[in-house]
Structure formats: C-alpha cells, structure tokens
Amino acid sequence: MADPDALRYLRIAQADLEEAQRMLDLSGFRDSSIGFRLQQACEKVLKAWIHAKGGQAPFTHDLAALMDWLEESGSNMSAFGPVAELSFFAVQTRYDDSVELRSPDWQLLVQITSSLLENVQHELT
C-alpha cells in the first residue's frame, strides 16, 4: 500500500497544479501568484516522491534540494530540472513586492510539473 503522506501530498499538488493552470487560462494574475502555485505543486510532488522512497521529506521550499535528495537516492531528475527555478516564488515574491520578475515559460513549467506528478503517481501504483 502506498504511503498515506505521499498520497496526501499528491492530492494537494494536483489541486495546486490545476489552480495554476486556471490562473493562466483566465489571465490577469500576477506572475508571483502563478509561480507560487506551481512551486507549491512541485514541492508537494517531490515530497511525495521522497515519502514513496521511504524517506522523510525535509522542511524546505528549495526544489533543487529536494531534487538533490531524490537524485542521491537513485532517481533520474534530468527531465524535471527546469522547475528548480520555481523555488524563487516560494518566499521571495510573497514578501517583497519590489522584486522584478521576468515571466518564465509558464506553459513549459506546467507541462514539466504535470509530467513530474504523473511520474510519481505511476511510481506509487
């Protein structure tokens, strides 16, 4: 049976991803809001993966650190590397409105996040 924490993380990640996609579809949302939702989705998926591998997800918003943990445990993270840039949206853009942002390729990041989510869902089944 799959780890209940991993399944919970995946359910919340799916909701965060869907919310980010709705924001993009509707337009008019700040990049910081879209980035935060995508960052949260990735963070939860990565933490689900860590739990699925028998680990304890560390308390961090740093996606690169979570991906490093997974790589060290033998997972291939090469296809998911671009989402590491979303770590910036976890804290910096939430508390500093003077941060200048360049809009990333949101659709690419949504696709990679979706692929990451599907990969971990597959690993849990």
CATH number for the domain that contains residue 16: 1.20.120.330
Question: Please, which pLDDT band fits residue 98 given cuts at 50, 70 and 90?
Answer: confident
Label each residue of 41-67 as H, E or C. HHHHHHHHHHHHCCCCCCCCCCHHHHH
What's the pLDDT score for residue 119? 96
What's the pLDDT score for residue 95? 77
**CB-count exposure of residue 7 (10 Å: 0-12, 13-18, 19+):** middle
| pLDDT tens digits for range 12-60 | 999 999 999 999 999 999 999 999 999 999 999 999 999 999 999 999 9
Which position has the token pair 């689900």? 48
Judge whether 57 and 51 are in contact, CB under 8 Å.
yes
Q: How far apart are alpha carbons 37 and 4 in whole angstroms?
A: 22
118 has a pLDDT exceeding 80: yes
Question: Please, which pLDDT band fits residue 10 given cuts at 50, 70 and 90?
Answer: very high
User: Side chain identity at 61, as an amino acid letter?
Assistant: H
What predicted TM-score, i.e. pTM, was given to this entire model? 0.94
Domain of 68? Answer: 4-124
Judge whether 52 and 6 are in contact, CB under 8 Å.
yes
The number of folded domains in the chain is 1
Phi-psi region of 28 (alpha: psi -120 to 50; beta: other; left: phi over 0): left
